[in-house]
Amino acid sequence: MKTVAAGAFAADHRPGSARSLVKRLGEFTQQPTLVASWIVVLVVIGWAIAPGLFTSYSPYDGDAAASFMPPSAEHWFGTDRLGRDLFARSVYGAHTTLTATLLAVLIAFGVGTLVGLIAGFAGGVVDTAVMRVVDVFLAVPSLLLAMVVVSVLGYSTQNIALAVGVSSIASFARVMRAQVLAVMTQDYVKAAYGLGVGRLGVMLRHVVPNSLSSVIALAALEVGTAVLAVASLGFLGYGAPPPHPEWGLLVAEGRDYVAVHPWASIMPGVTLAVVVIATHRISTSYRKDYRR
């Protein structure tokens, strides 16, 4: 009887069991800020995938007679100096900004993880040489490094993504190296060597799978940071040229009119801030779940 009860208890508390799923869903709904963050992120992803479903206005065509109209039921974010609907430009700008963000995070995650894996697993002179290069990258402010890279490559959204990705490689490399060094000291790794498993097999079967959790958590956190970095470079004029909508560029276009038409810069800026806060809230929740 006890065995049956213990088995039922274990089944109900398995990570993939229905009761565990319901419990986690209940915990999720009890966190209104987390729910709101997911709603914001899903809506913005919808903007990036199908912007035409969210607005009927063109992000490029304006009406000179409707220049600098304040926010209203017709124009939710108001209009800019050319009479273009700012909500439409913000919606269509999500595709540009989020595409660059995703590409930047993928570059940083892929290259940084590989560099950290090589340094931690190889050890010795290789580790020392690789990490000294990583330290040099960490010594340079990430935004400044991104500006240097995009200045060399040229101004475009793709180059901004590459620049932001390169500037974040060092952070991923250090986290991955630390995890690899920790996993290498575990008994199951030593046992694998004792059973005759080769270095490549140990790395692929044990080291890599058990080292990625923290790097994935960092990737979730870096999404918000990358959004802000991409928008910052766009604000400074390193991104897509006008009239292409991009969140940083939208803030920059309205900055000269803040005193008399504040919505021209504030509304795109608020959109950017809300998205960054939402992504950081989600990443914080992910890291808490990982630590349990």
Q: Per residue in 224-253, pLDDT tens? A: 889 999 999 989 888 878 888 899 999 999
CA-to-CA separations, 209 to 117, 227, 283, 292, in angstroms, rounded: 11, 28, 20, 18
Query: Tens digits of per-residue pLDDT, 116-162?
Result: 999 998 888 998 999 999 999 888 888 888 888 888 888 888 889 99
At 287, the pLDDT band (50, 70, 90 cuts) reads low
At 44, the pLDDT band (50, 70, 90 cuts) reads very high
- pLDDT exceeding 90 applies to what percent of the chain? 47
Domains of the chain: 55-291 (1.10.3720.10)
Q: Among 15-29, 79-93, 227-241, whose mean pLDDT is lowest?
A: 15-29
**What pLDDT was estimated at residue 21?**
64
Q: How far apart are CA 21 and CA 15, in angstroms?
A: 8
**What pLDDT was estimated at residue 18?**
67
Radius of gyration of the chain (CA): 24
Contact by Cβ (8 Å): 112, 169: yes
At 88, the pLDDT band (50, 70, 90 cuts) reads very high
Q: How far apart are CA 103 and CA 105, in angstroms?
A: 6
- pLDDT exceeding 70 applies to what percent of the chain? 88
Mean pLDDT in the chain?
Answer: 85
Asked if pLDDT for residue 223 goes beyond 50, the answer is: yes
Q: How far apart are CA 92 and CA 61, in angstroms?
A: 13
